[in-house]
Amino acid sequence: MKVTLKIFRFNPEVDQKFHYETYVVEGEPTDRVLDLLEQVKGYQDGTLSFRRSCAHGVCGSDAIRINGRNHLACKTLVRDVGDKITVEPVLGLKVIKDLIVDMEPFFDNYKKVLPFFVNESPLPADGKERHQTPEQRERFDDTTKCILCACCTTSCPSFWASDDYLGPAALVTAHRFIFDSRDEAASERLHTLAETSGTARCHTAYNCTLACPREIQVTKAIGELKMAMVTGRLD
């Protein structure tokens, strides 16, 4: 089948403003949008720039807007988006070139929630492991699945309005550690989330949950953080 791709183009070295270019490629319904972008870059226009790495939905590097909604290019099939596809960079982050955006503000926000395990206490008597029951592990299982693709944060109207909002992805990471029974920095993280750039900026638009390619219940996780801040309970 013929597939028409209308692609956002912007090269800061030559363009005053962005424009769109249209390419027609041969594709199959089971091709991924990433395959079509590779085809354009490989055979029609080598100047097209986009991020990708694993091509299997693991690295999170190829988040883009496809027909107006955030997706991973490597997980989106032609049969699910049709034979006329508009491809654009995600919103809310500065475009560096074509489909590539500046991820620094996203990762700056991520770092603020201490995205690592904190525990300074001595190891248990056996000296080996910090034990956790299956129920305690289950408490934060959903938020361990995040691949930091930014589909959630860049689909959030509150983030578009103000990039000092930590954003859903940072809050998902905060959830992953705050509800880990072995971690000891929950109160420090909750203090960060209580600042004006934290959970108060979430107005439950729900875009984040719809956008997440890992099907993480992002809005629910943010709701659990809000509840923990009010009640002080982590169970």
- Using CB under 6 A, list all residues that contact ligand SF4: 60, 146-152, 168-169, 172, 211-212, 214, 216, 218
Binding status of residue 60 toward ligand FES by CB under 6 A: yes
- Please identify, using beta-carbon distances, which residue of 72 and 103 lies nearer to ligand FES: 72
Q: What one-letter code names the amino acid at 118?
A: V
- Work out which of 61, 109, 143, 154 binds ligand FES, going by CB under 6 A: 61
> Got the DSSP string for 102-124?
--HHHHHHHHHT--S----SPPP
Q: Which does 146 bind (CB under 5 to 8 A by kind): ligand FES, ligand SF4, none?
A: ligand SF4
Binding status of residue 89 toward ligand FES by CB under 6 A: no
Closest distance to ligand FES from the beta carbon of 24 (Å): 24
Rg, the chain, Cα only:
20
Q: Which does 214 bind (CB under 5 to 8 A by kind): ligand SF4, ligand FES, none?
A: ligand SF4
Give the whole-angstrom CA distance, residue 153 versus residue 165.
Answer: 9
Give the whole-angstrom CA distance, residue 107 versus residue 148.
Answer: 9
φ, ψ at 104 (rounded to 5°): -55, -50
Residue 199, token pair as written in the block: 């959970």
Residue 3, token pair as written in the block: 């597939």
- Please identify, using beta-carbon distances, which residue of 3 and 148 lies nearer to ligand FES: 148
Helix ranges (DSSP H) in the chain:
33-39, 78-81, 104-112, 134-138, 157-161, 168-178, 186-193, 207-211, 218-231
Give the whole-angstrom CA distance, residue 70 versus residue 84.
Answer: 16
- Work out which of 58, 123, 161, 227 binds ligand FES, going by CB under 6 A: 58
- Please identify, using beta-carbon distances, which residue of 88 and 180 lies nearer to ligand FES: 88
CB 119 within 8 A of CB 130: yes
Count other Cβ atoms within 10 Å, centred on residue 162. 12
Residue 1, token pair as written in the block: 């089948």
Binding status of residue 154 toward ligand FES by CB under 6 A: no
- Which span sits near ligand FES by CB under 6 A: 10-18, 58-66, 83-91, 166-174? 58-66
Binding status of residue 168 toward ligand FES by CB under 6 A: no
Q: Which does 58 bind (CB under 5 to 8 A by kind): ligand SF4, ligand FES, none?
A: ligand FES
Binding site for ligand FES (CB under 6 A): 52-55, 57-62, 72, 74
